[in-house]
Amino acid sequence: MIDTKQITNTLKGIALAVLFLFPANGLLAQTNDLTQEEIKRLNGERKLTADNAAISETVAIDSIRMIYEIEDEYDMSPADDLYDGMWNNQYVKAYAGITVPDVHLIDLSSFAMPIEGRITSPFGPRKGRFHYGTDLKLQVGDTVYATFEGKVRVRQYEKKGYGYYLVLRHPNGLETVYGHLSKFLVLVDENVEAGQPIALGGNTGRSTGPHLHFECRFLGQAIDPADIVDFSNFCTYAEQYIFEKSKINELSVNNSNKFTAQNRSVTYYKVKQGDTLSTIAKKYRVSVNQLCRLNGIKTTTTLKIGRVLRCT
């Protein structure tokens, strides 16, 4: 990645050197050993040179001003207009009271997989609480990658939750969360590229085995990563994602062993003894392939009792 700050610092040095080498005054020394004609000629050259120096000085000052403006813009947080300049290095949920648009188009064209692992636990209710991300299988020490270009907002440790974790904010408005890490490879406030190594996978925090807890958020609102990413084929479904505020609601459990969301057409089901992909697909009037796609599994996957599957 190009070090923009280093470039701007170099340009500043060049501009300041111009000012030092070509000051507007005192370019030609006076001497008493000149004829009147020579003095007249030199005075004319002095004026011309001084005018040129003044122009050089103006250009140098304008250049420095422009460089600082570029640097100020570079230092702005990604999607700063959406986030009203809010930049918190401590917490994932840092946007209470922020205005969330009803609809927003999110560019996914530069996406890179954080890790090519199978889903071990999907987004949704889990053991009486809500799971805001998708868990992906990995081994301790596996490399975790940035899903988009952006900037590291949070680099923290949470003993009873994420463990070692990172939050990246991206120019497309998304923030991505990477939890249960074993080692950081980037610093807070560091700019990163899509596909750049940012951490090593682990089993820290509230975790029952090595995996990556991966979240997608927009202005603090959690989005099911499976709505964006085809985890079976390690890519996004499309180059754009339409965020709709009306679809972001926490899920609730009803008495028929189903998890449903108010105001959105999403249903989750907890696997019971005797269930198969075919019987669950038939129950919710979807194909087995669609059921597999929604959960990042294969048709040959063995279903474990208690596993929560997304069905619509």
Residue spans per domain, the chain: 4-75, 78-248, 249-312
Q: Tell me, what's the pLDDT at 32?
A: 54
Residue 56: exposure state from Cβ atoms within 10 A (0-12, 13-18, ≥19): middle
Sign of the alpha-carbon dihedral angle for 17, 19, 22, 27:
negative
Taking alpha carbons only, the member of 47, 242, 212, 94 closest to residue 145 is 212
- State the average pLDDT over residues 106-134: 91
Residue 202 in tokens: 């682990």
CATH superfamily assigned to domain 78-248: Glucose Permease (Domain IIA) (2.70.70.10)
- Structure token pair of residue 133: 């991300």
- The residue-averaged pLDDT of 153-177 equals 97
Domain 78-248 and domain 249-312 have a common topology: no
The C-alpha atoms of residue 188 and residue 90 are separated, in whole angstroms, by 10
Note the pLDDT tens digit of each residue in 220-234.
Answer: 999 999 999 999 889
What helix, strand, coil percent values describe the chain, rounded to 5?
Answer: 25, 30, 45
- 107 phi/psi in degrees, rounded to 5: -80, 125
What's the Cα-to-Cα distance from 195 to each of 110, 116, 281, rounded to whole Å?
A: 9, 12, 35
Token pair belonging to 17: 């050197």
Specify the CATH superfamily of domain 249-312. Answer: LysM domain (3.10.350.10)
What digits encode the pLDDT tens for the residues 17-68?
Answer: 554 554 544 444 444 566 777 766 767 766 666 566 566 666 655 655 665 5
Instruction: State how far the Cα of 171 lies from the Cα of 109, in Å rounded to an integer.
Output: 12
**Most confident listed range (15-19, 155-159, 249-253):** 155-159
SS3 136: strand
Contact 86, 94 (CB under 8 A): yes
Return the HEC string of 237-266. Answer: CCCEEEEEHHHCCCEEECCCCEEEECCCCC
Note the pTM of the prediction, 2 decimals: 0.63
